[in-house]
Amino acid sequence: MATESDVLLHWAQFAGQHPLAVYGILLALLLASSAACWWLVRRYHVPHGQSALPPLAYLAVRLAAGFGLIVSAAWVFAEIAEELGTTGASMGQADQALADAVRTSLPPAALQAFALLTRLADTATLAGLCILVALALALRGRRWLALGWVLAVAGNGVLNTTLKAVFARVRPLHDDGPVMASGFSFPSGHSSGSVVAYGMLAYVLTRFLPARWHLPLVLGAAALAFSIGVSRIFLRVHFASDVLAGLASGTAWLAVCIASIELTRWYRRRPEETAIRP
C-alpha cells in the first residue's frame, strides 16, 4: 500500500514532468477561486452606511474576516515549517524530485520567459516600486496611506530576512540556470515580496479607481504573485516548499497590513462621523 510519502513523491514527479500544464491548471483554479470569493463579498457585503450593525461591530466583522485569512495563511506556513523542522524527509524528497524533473522538462523558451518574469520581484525592482508609489501618494496628500504602503513592503523584507536566518535552509543547486541566487532558501523572498508589493498595489489602486476595475486588479495581482513564485521553482533557485511558505507568509503579512490600514482609517474617520451625527 502506498504511503503518504510515496503519493507526495509521485505527484511531485508528475508535476515536474508537465510543469507548464500544471502551472496553467493551478493558475486557472486560483483565478476562479479569487473571482468566486470576490463575487461572494460583493453579493453579501453591506456598505457601512446601510448596515444595521453599530460601527464598532461592523468594523469587528471586517477585521474578523481578515484575521481568519491571517490565521489560515500562518497555519500553512507553520505546517510546512514543522515538516521541515522534524525530519523533512518526505517533503525534501518531493522538493528534489520536482526540481530534477523540471530541469529536463521545461522548454528553454519558457525558462527564459520566467527568468524575465522573476525580475519583477527582485529587491531593486520592489524598492524602486516602493519609492515611486510612496512619492505619488505623498504628492496626492495621502501621507497615511503612503506610510502604510512603505511599512508593508519594507516590513515584509525584514520579516523574510529574519525567517531565512531562523530556518537557514540551503538552496537547491542551480549552477547552470539563467538566474543565480545566494543566501538561504526558506521562505522564498520573491514569493512573499510579490504577494505583499503587488497585493498592496492593487489595494492602493482600488482606493482611487472605479469599482469596475477592482476585480481585474485583484486577479492581476494574484496571477502575478503566483507566477513569480512558480518562476522560482522553474529556475531552480527555490524548492516548491520554499515558494509555498513564501506565498503563505506574504499573504499573512498583507492581511495584517491591510487590516491595520483599515483600522486606522476607521479611527481617523470617527471624529468626522461624530461631528455630523444629528
For the segment 245-271, the average pLDDT, to the nearest whole number, is: 82
pLDDT at residue 259, as a whole number: 83
For the segment 250-274, the average pLDDT, to the nearest whole number, is: 76
- pLDDT digits over 131-182, tens only? 999 999 999 999 999 999 999 999 999 989 988 888 888 887 766 667 777 7
C-alpha cell at 180: 543565480
pLDDT at residue 89, as a whole number: 64
What is the maximum span of the chain, computed from C-alpha positions, in angstroms?
Answer: 72
pLDDT at residue 220, as a whole number: 95
For the segment 257-266, the average pLDDT, to the nearest whole number, is: 82
Checking if the pLDDT of 268 tops 70, the result is no
- 109-130 burial: b if 16+ Cβ within 10 Å, else e: eebeebeebbebbeeebbeebb
Checking if the pLDDT of 65 tops 80, the result is no
pLDDT at residue 138, as a whole number: 94
pLDDT at residue 22, as a whole number: 92
pLDDT at residue 94, as a whole number: 84
Domain ranges of the chain: 4-276
pLDDT at residue 56, as a whole number: 55
Q: Which of these, 70, 86, 250, 221, lies nearest to 153 by C-alpha position?
A: 250
Most confident among 47-51, 73-77, 174-178, 221-225 (mean pLDDT) = 221-225
Q: Are 192 and 253 in contact (CB under 8 A)?
A: yes
Q: Are 227 and 117 in contact (CB under 8 A)?
A: yes
Q: Are 146 and 138 in contact (CB under 8 A)?
A: yes
- Count how many residues are written for the chain: 278
Residue 45, exposed/middle/buried by CB under 10 A (0-12, 13-18, 19+)? exposed
Model pTM score:
0.85
C-alpha cell at 119: 525580475
C-alpha cell at 45: 457585503
pLDDT at residue 52, as a whole number: 47
Residue 155, exposed/middle/buried by CB under 10 A (0-12, 13-18, 19+)? middle
Q: Are 24 and 234 in contact (CB under 8 A)?
A: no
- For the four alpha carbons of 207, 201, 151 and 253, in that order, the dihedral sign comes to positive
User: Which comes out higher in pLDDT, residue 219 or 73?
Assistant: 219
pLDDT at residue 227, as a whole number: 96
C-alpha cell at 14: 508528475
DSSP SS3 for 181:
coil
Checking if the pLDDT of 277 tops 50, the result is no
Q: Are 164 and 187 in contact (CB under 8 A)?
A: yes
- Listed range (19-28, 142-151, 179-188, 234-243) with the worst mean pLDDT: 179-188
Checking if the pLDDT of 49 tops 70, the result is no
pLDDT at residue 136, as a whole number: 95
User: Which comes out higher in pLDDT, residue 28 or 166?
Assistant: 28
- pLDDT digits over 212-231, tens only? 899 999 999 999 999 999 99
pLDDT at residue 226, as a whole number: 96
pLDDT at residue 37, as a whole number: 83
